[in-house]
Amino acid sequence: MTYLQAISEGLRSEMRDDERVLLMGEDIGVFGGAFKVTDGFIGEFGIDRVMDTPLAESGIVGTAVGAAIVGMRPVCEMQFADFVACGFDQIINVAGKMFYRQGLPVNITVRLPSGGGFSGGPFHSQSPEAWFMHSPGIKVVAPSTAEDAKGLMIASIRDPNPVVYMEHKNLYRRVKGDVPEGSYETPFSARVAREGSELVVITYGAMVNTALEATEDLDTHSGTGGASIMVLDLRTLKPLDEPAILSAVRACSKVVIVDEANQTCAAGAQVAALIAEHAFEDLDGPVVRVASPDVPVPYSPPLEQAVLPSVDRVREACRQLLEY
Amino acid sequence: MATSSTAAQTGPNTPSDSLPEHLTLDDRVGLLRAMLLMRTIEERAMNLYRQGKVPGSFYDGFGQEAVSVGPAWAMAAADRLCPLHRDLGAHLVRGVAPWRIMSQYMGREAGITHGRDGNVHFGDYRTGCVGMVSMLPDMMLVATGMAMAFKLRSEQRCALSWFGDGSTSRGDFHEAMNWAGVQHLPVIFVLENNQFAYSTPLHQQFAVNPVERAEGYGFLGTSVDGNDAEAMFEATRAARARALEGGGPTLIEAVTMRMHGHAAHDDMKYVPKALFDEWRAKDPIDRQSARVAAQGVDVDALKAEVREQVEQATQKALEGEMPDPATATERVFHPRDAEEVLLEDGTAPWSGFPE
């Protein structure tokens, strides 16, 4: 099953189990969504539960908040993660602070098809997860495998708080994997994608696959043979799985952190700060970061490839750190 | 000024002699009592602010009491409300105790938000009210979403959101009006046209009176004397009845005047004296007092009773503890295994609801 089919499976499973679950978004009903995540849903669940909304991102999130506090469990699709900027205020100021201020939880899930790599240009390629990590009261998840895509979707819908679900567009049809049948939840915690002992690459989303490819059978410049490299898939960015991160650092002593997002204040910056604060004595070299520079994601393939972290960039960063 | 016509629509401050069709004398006294309670609480709280007991600033709805009390009186227990910062009367009608409001103003543990938010930034979910945020008019969308859920579940319920004239300039006003119109939802929008958004007058806010925009979104807009509690009640009652019959949303423009500054620190020097004097003569409490006095009600006794109630509430609040600093980082997320919390029904005192 593809990553995309797994997201659909998670949504379908919860909609069958819980009539409070309601999908809202632009072109998600009759058309089945810009990426076809909800293709065929309207036939099974009807137009009320697979709602084609006006083109209004603030409206989608704001009305979802209202529906949630009277007992619905809305899942909002932003057609592209980039468009969530138009619904930002409702997530940050209304949904994120409601429980703290008034004891009223807001059970909404906001799906953000994110990431670049296919010439989407500056407004169809962003990775805005850090916007939400920085604001209290919002959980942020970012699956990298088909199994986790389904399990995290189910867990996000069941979580009583606002959850921003980052789904990487570049994984939709490229990533395939076995997905358990029936209903299950993936916990909001990190996962060791590959064991290792000499260096750990800490990352999430599409960069998990980039990291796995970059470090598979990685030889150093000095030619000492395949290095033992761990890849830690964060899976959830808020809350960060701090014990898993610190444990990986203790086990490997060398750390490369990879973000597809712009580097300043990215999720990886928080991981680096955490390590500096709590695992300084466990390090055997500087913490190395690989991320997109602070530029909009450009359109033309050579420009885009120059910006997004590549397999080669991650491999070279690991090589250099291994030789430190 | 194109919008001055809205002020001219408000009637003279003359008591209505005949009993309104949908209000008993108890209702009419109840409306007055809620307005008196609102004004007395806010006057006492302003006093506490000047004494340094209310942190931050202080916001009130002096002169606009009818705008929140009238519509709230028309809402059923199962309906849901999103009051704004000049709508304390709605919380009082829905059953929030004055001493908890005083505690809220003073940042005490017993306040509705337990000190986590200030002044009228609260909503007691046990009364069916959702607390506002400072970004206006965000709550129009929340009310629209609640109404959407009611319609999806075929429930005979309604949602109501208040917002100001300045709010009509922002996108969420458009998104909510459009959404409610497209989906034909049981939602009531109450526009508090109080002549100024902070210091900005109407003619710098919009070129066309927003009540006229309702038609463009496919539903009814109506302009009401916002200083007449009974007129506000009646407009809301009719809008609610229409909504429950499947008639869709209504925009009610409450034409009123903000008689205090935006907040305690605002001296209102931008308000022409003639305008202020004109509106002082239309005070909503004086108007309702004259009406019920004409029916033989002892208004002075009622005022004394309310003053005593507020004083007791103030003393009780002053005795309350400040929140424990150790709790500042608690309750950011609702625990997964905790019991589900949803908005609950509030008090609905109107005599027209079945017991």
The closest CB to that of A67, out of B124, B148, B175, belongs to: B148
Answer yes or no: do A14 and A162 share one domain. Answer: yes
Across the interface, do B336 and A69 touch by the CB < 8 Å criterion?
no
pLDDT of residue B4 exceeding 80: no
- As a whole number of angstroms, the distance between CA B153 and CA A157 comes to 19
Tokens representing B8? Answer: 């001219």
Backbone phi and psi for residue A117, each to the nearest 5 degrees, phi listed first: 115, 5
What DSSP element (H or E) covers B92? helix B88-94
Answer yes or no: do A50 and A166 share one domain. Answer: yes
Answer yes or no: do A128 and A218 share one domain. Answer: no
Residue type at A235 in one-letter notation: R
Using DSSP, state whether A275 is helix, strand or coil.
helix
Is the residue at A74 inside a domain? yes
* Residue range A83-119, pLDDT digits in tens: 999 999 999 999 999 999 999 999 999 999 999 999 9
Q: What is the pLDDT of residue B355?
A: 73
Mean of pLDDT values over A265-274: 98
Q: What angle do CA B142, B217, B187 make, to 5 degrees?
A: 35
Mean of pLDDT values over A171-176: 98
* Residue range A42-95, pLDDT digits in tens: 999 999 999 999 999 999 999 999 999 999 999 999 999 999 999 999 999 999
The DSSP 8-state label assigned to residue A219 in this structure reads P
> Long-range CB contacts (< 8 A, 24+ apart) of B7-14?
B7/B195, B7/B255, B7/B278, B9/B223, B9/B225, B9/B255, B10/B225, B10/B226, B10/B227, B10/B228, B10/B255, B10/B282, B11/B225, B11/B228, B13/B227, B13/B281, B13/B282, B13/B283, B13/B286, B13/B287
pTM check: above 0.90: yes
Residues of chain B positioned with their CB less than 8 A from the CB of A65? 141-142, 145
Answer yes or no: do A165 and A198 share one domain. Answer: no
Q: What is the pLDDT of residue A218?
A: 86
Domain count, chain A: 2
Q: What is the pLDDT of residue B6?
A: 38
At the topology level, CATH places domain B22-321 in: Rossmann fold (3.40.50)
- As a whole number of angstroms, the distance between CA B107 and CA A190 comes to 39
Residues of chain A positioned with their CB less than 8 A from the CB of B184? none
Mean of pLDDT values over B272-283: 96
* Residue range A161-173, pLDDT digits in tens: 999 999 999 999 9
- As a whole number of angstroms, the distance between CA B205 and CA B192 comes to 14
Mean of pLDDT values over B104-113: 98
Residues of chain B positioned with their CB less than 8 A from the CB of A73? none
- The domain that contains A159 carries what CATH number? 3.40.50.970
Establish whether A124 is a catalytic residue.
yes
pLDDT of residue B82 exceeding 50: yes
Q: What is the pLDDT of residue B18?
A: 59
The closest CB to that of B331, out of A71, A72, A99, belongs to: A99
End-to-end CA distance of chain A: 41
Answer yes or no: do A90 and A164 share one domain. Answer: yes
Across the interface, do A104 and B341 touch by the CB < 8 Å criterion?
yes
Mean of pLDDT values over A304-316: 98
The closest CB to that of A93, out of B133, B175, B332, belongs to: B133
The closest CB to that of A90, out of B141, B143, B342, belongs to: B141
Answer yes or no: do A74 and A195 share one domain. Answer: no
* Residue range A114-138, pLDDT digits in tens: 999 999 999 999 999 999 999 999 9
Could you give the dihedral angle defined by the CA atoms of residues A268, A271, A273 and A275, in that order, rounded to the nearest 10 degrees?
A: -140
pLDDT band at B19 (very low <50, low <70, confident <90, very high): low
- Residue A271: partners with Cβ closer than 8 Å, 6 or more residues away: A202, A234, A240, A245, A257
The closest CB to that of A59, out of B135, B179, B332, belongs to: B179
Tokens representing B184? Answer: 């034909």
Residue in A closest to B144 by C-alpha: A63
Alpha-carbon distances of B199 from A171, B31, B255, B267, B271, rounded to whole Å: 51, 30, 17, 10, 8
Across the interface, do B145 and A66 touch by the CB < 8 Å criterion?
yes
Answer yes or no: do A94 and A229 share one domain. Answer: no
Give the residue from A171, A205, A233 where a domain finishes.
A171
Tokens representing A83? Answer: 């468009």
Q: What is the pLDDT of residue B8?
A: 36
Q: What is the pLDDT of residue B2?
A: 32
Backbone phi and psi for residue B156, each to the nearest 5 degrees, phi listed first: -85, 75
What is the gyration radius of the CA atoms in chain A, in angstroms? 20
Residue among B124, B76, B84, B120 at smallest CA distance from B347 = B76
Using DSSP, state whether B35 is helix, strand or coil.
helix
Answer yes or no: do A65 and A197 share one domain. Answer: no
Residue position matching structure tokens 């008090």: B347
Residue position matching structure tokens 């939840």: A185
Is the residue at A125 inside a domain? yes
Across the interface, do B179 and A53 touch by the CB < 8 Å criterion?
yes
pLDDT of residue A188 exceeding 80: yes
Q: What percent of chain A has pLDDT over 90?
A: 97
pLDDT band at B14 (very low <50, low <70, confident <90, very high): very low
> Long-range CB contacts (< 8 A, 24+ apart) of A12-15?
A12/A41, A12/A44, A13/A150, A13/A154, A13/A182, A13/A183, A14/A73, A14/A153, A14/A154, A14/A157, A14/A158, A14/A183, A15/A41, A15/A44, A15/A45, A15/A49
The string of DSSP letters for A99-145 reads HHHHS-----EEEEEE--SSS--TTSS---HHHHHTSTT-EEE---S
Answer yes or no: do A224 and A269 share one domain. Answer: yes
Cβ contact A263:A269 at 8 Å: yes
Answer yes or no: do A149 and A260 share one domain. Answer: no
Q: What is the pLDDT of residue B5?
A: 36
Q: What is the pLDDT of residue A298?
A: 98
Check if the interface score ipTM surpasses 0.85. yes
Residues of chain B positioned with their CB less than 8 A from the CB of A56? 175, 178-179
- As a whole number of angstroms, the distance between CA A77 and CA A79 comes to 6
Is the residue at A294 inside a domain? yes
Q: What is the pLDDT of residue B132?
A: 96
The per-residue pLDDT of chain A, averaged, comes to: 97
pLDDT of residue B16 exceeding 80: no
Q: What is the pLDDT of residue A262?
A: 98
- The domain that contains A263 carries what CATH number? 3.40.50.920
Across the interface, do B133 and A67 touch by the CB < 8 Å criterion?
no
Q: Residue B204 CB: number of other CB atoms within 10 A? A: 12
pLDDT of residue A221 exceeding 90: no
pLDDT of residue A222 exceeding 90: no
Question: Which positions in chain A have a beta carbon within 8 angstroms of at least one beta carbon in chain B?
Answer: 22, 48, 53-54, 56, 58-59, 61-72, 89-90, 93-94, 97-105, 136-137, 139, 158-161
Cβ contact B247:B33 at 8 Å: no
* Residue range B217-238, pLDDT digits in tens: 999 999 999 999 999 999 999 9
* Residue range B165-199, pLDDT digits in tens: 999 999 999 999 999 999 999 999 999 999 999 99
Answer yes or no: do A22 and A136 share one domain. Answer: yes
Cβ contact A97:A136 at 8 Å: yes
Instruction: Show the domain range for A33.
Output: 3-171
- CA torsion sign for B350, B351, B352, B355 is positive
Q: Best mutation site among B113, B334, B339, B340 for testing chain A: the one with the most A CBs within 10 Å?
A: B334
Residues of chain A positioned with their CB less than 8 A from the CB of B143? 66
Q: What is the pLDDT of residue B15?
A: 46
Task: Kindly give the pairing relationship between strand A139-141 and strand A236-238.
Answer: antiparallel
Measured in angstroms, the CA of B317 and the nearest CA of chain A are apart by: 19
Answer yes or no: do A51 and A150 share one domain. Answer: yes
- As a whole number of angstroms, the distance between CA A32 and CA B86 comes to 44
pLDDT of residue B3 exceeding 60: no
- As a whole number of angstroms, the distance between CA A151 and CA A191 comes to 13
pLDDT band at B20 (very low <50, low <70, confident <90, very high): confident
